[in-house]
Structure formats: structure tokens, C-alpha cells
Structure 1
Amino acid sequence: MRHCLFALLILCTSSCKADPADQAAASRARLPNAESSLAVRLCHAALDRTAATVRYDGAYVRISYPGGDVPADTGVCTDVVIRSYRALGHDLQKLVHEDMKRHFSAYPKNWGLAKPDTNIDHRRVPNLQTFFKRQGASLPATQNPADYLPGDLITCTVAGRLPHIAIVVPAPDGGETPWIVHNIGSGPKLENRLFEFPLTGHYRWLPE
């Protein structure tokens, strides 16, 4: 399944030697005080994901609908995003499926499907890119760190062809360049890799 990058195609390197829990706490401490803000809550949900033990597994799995999920100890990059939004009450499985049912022709045909599939559609990066763009959430993908706010989403291409997605959070070291929470092969991690790969999208999706 090519909805995200495969674990064996890239080595996961740590952004620094600090304890992951300490890094997450430092990132949280740099969030705005507006705890009711969806962007802030999304960052907290993403940082919560970094405490989970998740084996990278992109296999096709039949799941329930709505609110379905693959086993909690497995997942890929899209599952970090899906689970973070779901913690705030926003079910991307349902939302993407409903939009695909109404506008199937607007979505990529990379997988040869003739109709939507609730088991996998929301777990594919190109579909999420299309959904966020259709929601009016697309922003320019620049190289300016100041353009990326906590709770933003970025997509990029790894190894020249593999789509990837991540959530932007504050840099725990206080640096100007934000960090990201993502699963690039060894479970959800907080890392300083915002500009490491060619960016293909920048989104700010904060539904009511």
C-alpha cells in the first residue's frame, strides 16, 4: 500500500539525544495559552501520539465505519493525523468518505478504484491532500519557517515518490523552525524534519 512511505526505505534518525517525553513536554510548553483553540488541542493530541508504541504497517485492513481504526499498535503517517483529529471529535474516515461519495471524480485515481472504500481512502496521503484542499485549507508550501503554525499539516515526498504527511508543532528547543509529529517508520515521533523532504502541500484545517 503506497498511501504513505514504507519503513524499510528510509532510516529514522533522532533529531537530538533528549528524552522523547521531555521533548514533547518542551513542545507543549511553547504552545499558546489558548487551550480551547483547536490548533492547540490538535498539537496536544499529536504529541500524545508520540507516547504510543506503534509498529509501522501499511497493510490493507478491513475496519468498521464510521469511527473505524486499524489495531492501535499499528499504523502509518496518515494514522497519526487521523487519530489526532479523532481525539478532537473529527472523524476523517467519515468526512473523506462522504466527500468522495459526492465528488468521486475530484479524487486521485492512483489505485484503480471504481468507488470509495471506507477501509482505506482516508489513510492515503493524496486523498487527504484533496480533501483538505477541497475544504479551503490549502496554503502555500514555502521555505519560510514563520509560515508554519502549530496545528498545521504538511505533506512531502520521500525518496522521490513516496507521499508523507505530518503535523506541525512548536520546536521544543525554542528554535525558529517548527518541528513535526509524524510516523516515518518507527512509530509516532517528534522530530526536527519540517524541511528535510520536498514539500508538496501545506494545510490549516481547523473545523468548527
Structure 2
Amino acid sequence: MKKHKIIPVFIFFVVVLAAAGGIWFRCKDTGPAGKRVSDQKTFPQFHSETDQDKDGIDDQTDILKGALDYVATKPKYKSQYYNGGYPDDGYGVCTDVVAFAMKAAGYDLMRLVAKDVEQHTDAYDIDQPDPNIDYRRVKNLQVYFGRHAQSLATDVSDVEEWQGGDIVIFRKHIGIVSDKRNKNGVPYVIHHYSPWQRSYEQDILERRSDIVGHYRWNFGNESGEKAKQNKTTQNSR
């Protein structure tokens, strides 16, 4: 009898350890410390021509800075519903990194997604629209940015195509591309993945095989038409 009791318990602990190991592997930093674009002359940072909030800083830079400022508050990971949409208690999830980054540039992602869902419901797989939560779901943001942002390469070896302030979407995750790069020139990602995450800015792109989208919020495009996929001229100003 004792053996029959011990075996299920042993299997349970093996499964738990394997799951924890998988989360740790995805969240851990690997390789040497990266460098900011300002330290790498070969990778000039892209700057958009739009300054939505009129603060003297272009949108691309505002989005990048907004993401860094948000994670600097060290939000704790917890998925829950908020009346009013935006978390205000020090907790958050991956989509909040993007929402607060765009908010820093003068864009209310909650309002933008709600408007698009209302006008183009057939484009979204949503049974009952709810502005408070719709913009905080990765699958909805994939649809939204696919419709309203510039779609770029998902091949991380095309390093110059990846710029700080871009948006990267994984199968069940999302983040903002950093201006910090590893020794191969591949940028880090600013993201919030789990309660056990060691750092909010991590060198993970080369280790992920589930990248499903790479977008740039270019010129505040809200036309409702997917931007043409093309190479963007790098601006080193």
C-alpha cells in the first residue's frame, strides 16, 4: 500500500519541478550584459516622425521610455480584472507593459482597442466585448496591431529591423523591444512574464520559437488598414 501512495506523490513533484524549470528557463537572463544603442554605432535607433503627446519626444522613443519607466516600478505579476481597465495597485501582466508604454506616448490603448472592437467586431474572436479587459488580452492585441501598426520581420537574425520601441508578440505573450542588444546585435525584450521573473528586460528573442508578430506603431496610424510590410529607413538622429 505504501508504494502505491508514494509513486503518485513522486510523480506529482516531478511534474511540478519540470513546470517550474520550464518557467525559469524562459524567464532567466542568458549571456553577457547587453549594450544600449547609444553604445553601438552600428545599430542607430529608429525615430518616428510623430509626437502624439507634444512632449518633444517622438512616439517610438516615448513608447520605449514608457515601457522602461513602467517596469522600473517593479509591478508584481497577477492577472485580475479592474474596473476602469488600467491596474492601479502595483500589479500587472504582460499586456500592461505595452499599454503603459503607449500611454506614455499619448495613446490610450484601452480606448483604441474598444473602438476597433466596436466597429469591426467580426475581426475579433470576442463573444461579449468588455473595454476593461479586451485590450489586456494578447490575442486581441495581435489583431489590433495587425490592423493598425506596421508589420515587420519576425526573423531575429534581421537585427536592424528590430528597434527599441517596437512591439513583439509571442503565441501567448507580448512585450516591447528594448534598445539594449546582446553581442549578436539582437535586442532584449521589456516584458512581464511571471511572478518568478528575475528581470523585466531580458535577452530572450533568440531562444523563442513562438514569435507570431513584430510591429511598429508608426506615425500614429489609426486608419484601420494594415500598414504595408516594408523595411523602414533607419534614422540616426
What band does the TM-score fall into relative to the shorter chain? Answer: 0.7 to 0.9
* Superposed CA offset, 1:115-152 (max 9, x none): 31011100001100101111142223223222211211
Q: Do the aligned partners of 1:121 and 1:127 also contact (CA within 8 Å) in 2?
A: yes
TM (norm. structure 1) is 0.76
Q: Relative to structure 2, which stretch is displaced further, 167-176 or 44-53?
A: 167-176
Q: Do the aligned partners of 2:45 and 2:163 also contact (CA within 8 Å) in 1?
A: no
Partner of residue 137, structure 2: 124
TM (norm. structure 2) is 0.68
Partner of residue 3, structure 1: none
Aligned residue identity for 1:50: V
Equivalent residue for 1:45, pick from 66, 72, 75:
66
Equivalent residue for 1:194, pick from 185, 205, 223:
205
In the TM superposition, residue 53 of structure 1 has moved relative to its aligned partner by: 2.0
Cα distance in 2 for partners of 1:52, 1:16 equals 25
Q: Do the aligned partners of 2:165 and 2:178 also contact (CA within 8 Å) in 1?
A: yes
Aligned residue identity for 1:150: G
Partner of residue 63, structure 1: 83
Equivalent positions of 1:8-87 (< 5 A) are 10-11=23-24, 12-15=27-30, 27=36, 29-30=38-39, 32=45, 36-59=57-80, 61-64=81-84, 68-87=85-104
Equivalenced residues, count = 183
Partner of residue 154, structure 1: 168
Q: Do the aligned partners of 1:85 and 1:92 also contact (CA within 8 Å) in 2?
A: yes
Q: Relative to structure 2, which stretch is displaced further, 26-35 or 167-176?
A: 26-35
Q: Do the aligned partners of 1:28 and 1:44 also contact (CA within 8 Å) in 2?
A: no
Cα distance in 2 for partners of 1:43, 1:136 equals 16
Q: Percent identity?
A: 31
Partner of residue 229, structure 2: none
* Higher RCO (Cα < 8 Å, 6 or more apart): 1
Query: Which of the pair is proportionally richer in helix?
Result: 2
Aligned residue identity for 2:192: N
Q: Which stretches in structure 1 are left out of the alignment for 5+ residues?
A: 1-6, 158-162
In the TM superposition, residue 175 of structure 1 has moved relative to its aligned partner by: 4.7
Cα distance in 2 for partners of 1:16, 1:180 equals 14
Cα distance in 2 for partners of 1:175, 1:154 equals 18
Q: Do the aligned partners of 1:168 and 1:181 also contact (CA within 8 Å) in 2?
A: yes
Equivalent residue for 2:148, pick from 116, 128, 135:
135
Cα distance in 2 for partners of 1:196, 1:206 equals 27
Larger radius of gyration: 2
In the TM superposition, residue 83 of structure 1 has moved relative to its aligned partner by: 0.7
Cα distance in 2 for partners of 1:107, 1:133 equals 11
In the TM superposition, residue 52 of structure 1 has moved relative to its aligned partner by: 1.2
Question: Are residues 1:178 and 2:195 paired?
Answer: no
Q: Which stretches in structure 2 are left out of the alignment for 5+ residues?
A: 1-18, 48-55, 221-237
* Superposed CA offset, 1:61-82 (max 9, x none): 1322xxx412341101000000
Q: Do the aligned partners of 2:76 and 2:90 also contact (CA within 8 Å) in 1?
A: yes
Cα distance in 2 for partners of 1:122, 1:33 equals 26
Equivalent residue for 1:204, pick from 216, 220, 225:
216
Partner of residue 164, structure 1: 173
Cα distance in 2 for partners of 1:123, 1:42 equals 17
SS in 1 for 2:205: coil
Q: Do the aligned partners of 2:29 and 2:204 also contact (CA within 8 Å) in 1?
A: no
